[in-house]
Structure 1
Amino acid sequence: MKRIAFHLFRLVALACLASPLAAAAQAYPAKPVRVLVPFAAGSIPDLVARLVSDKMTGGLGQPVLVENRIGAGGRIAAEAVARTAPDGYTLLLGTASTHMVSPLLVKNMPYDPVKDFTPIAIAVTPVSGVVVNGAVPVSSVKELVDYARANPGKIAYASNGIGSSHHLVGELIKMTAGVDMLHVPLAGSNQVLNAVLAGHVQLSFSSPGSVGPYLSSGKLKLLAVVPPKRFPGTPNVPTLAESLPGYDPVTDWFGYFGPAGLPQPIVSRVNAEIVKALNAPDVRAKLNSATQLVIASSPEELAAMMKRESQIYARIVKAANIPAQ
């Protein structure tokens, strides 16, 4: 009898705790929603957030405000969202860096990328391509791999820095193909582009949009795109996974998160508005012109991708012997 009474008491207590959350979820949103973006105004993540937020404002009936909270490679914004109440009024536009790479390369992380967040949606994947200097005698990824095998240590690729997404993609190509390539970390995308144009390095992972004029002139060649799907702007260019047998793709991405414990009705509502915004023809056109591949995923797809790709990133970091800082 006492056991039955205890379980009844427990059920009533849980119901009492859940009812305020359920009521809040039913009334959501009752005030403006903030989206923290861990990059500066004018950046690609900022563009994504503002295009989506403009559409969400109409759908939710409340202002959806973008707040640029920069610093520490995105970890300041991510930590702020992880520590906020799970009421749906503070969201994060996170990245592969904030949620998969930083936990491998940063000591004393201020948050757990899985336990402290609720996944909502993958928004887009920035499209980068396997780009080589026009003088390199290859016209496909297969020919590039064969050339690298025949010239060990003579192929150098540039990236935006140690631990950047392009650095890790280069290391994954090395692992998959069994080739030796030299990594040259540089300060930013402009320096990377200039280095491959000048022939200081033979290879880079650059946006097709940024190298378009150089492709037309023959100064550069685009061999493949890095995302797992072909990009509508370059439909005849194969993906890296299509071109390199055994390549298990990892992606750069921008995705929406809430803090842990976000009620499911709020997750579903926010996801539906994000997906609707991303699929709006004008938003999709603007993102395609910015060389962003629209994904518009479910929460479950974001969670599954993080689980799969975090394991791949861990293997890359270990194989490349990249130390945590």
Structure 2
Amino acid sequence: MTPQPPGNRDKEAGRWSDLGRPPLNVAALRRALVRPGSLWSVVDVVPATGSTNTDLAARAAKGEPEGAVLVAEEQSAGRGRLDRTWSAPPRSGLFFSVYLTPRVPQERWGWLPLLAGVATATALSRTAGVDTALKWPNDVLVTVGGEERKTGGILAERAGEGVVIGIGLNVSLTAAELPVPTAGSLALAGAVTTDRDPLLRAVLRSLEHWYGEWQTADGDPAASGLQETYAAGCATLGRSVRAELPGDRQLVGEAVAIDGDGRLVLATADGVQQPVGAGDIIHLRPARGTAP
């Protein structure tokens, strides 16, 4: 073996410094996902970045093909709704974005983050063996110690001729590493595996399946089965919630349905059913006196 300069040895040692969190195998991921007839055209893994959504959106503006996947082993400035930021230890989760150019009416593109939620939750249930649920509009929940905890979030943004969808998932985070007490991870939920390679493949294959069904139905959430499946896995439905709106306004009611536009329908105390869109709310919280 040719001796390596000290700098290279240090870099390689750092790459494997946490043997419980090995790096992703990009060559194996490409072999499994980039194939004839597949949605996925490019799979890139970078050691670290600020935001995979920001980076992939920049690539989309320069003509990136549909099906590009960008994964970061570490993300220092991940973004959620309303530009909320979060970060996690290197290789402790899955932080990735995909670029899609839907060939369906643009008024139906608002279903893409919900579609990504369904795809992610179903893949994690199957592959990690954990119970998952969805909190409208963009959170993936697992059960830790009998309580629902957020283990993932989804952010969709217009970019180029399509949409970049970012997905962040806490995989192996310990209780001491959680950013907030209400967070969770697959490990804390008792996952049968925290190997990120099969987890990432499962989520991307599930996303490819649901995206294909949705496009075949011309973006119709009912005909594709997306609306029914999302509602079946949505923990928000059946609960009393308070939607905090711009201008210090709020709307309190029972979450009773997800409508055809992906909005949450609240039944208020005066008998009115009021839909609220994801872009209209600042926070969605349990109403006072109800379980979280």
TM-score (norm 1): 0.28
TM-score (norm 2): 0.30
- Structure whose residues are more often helix by fraction: 1
- Structure with higher RCO (Cα < 8 A, 6+ apart): 1
**Structure label with greater radius of gyration:** 1
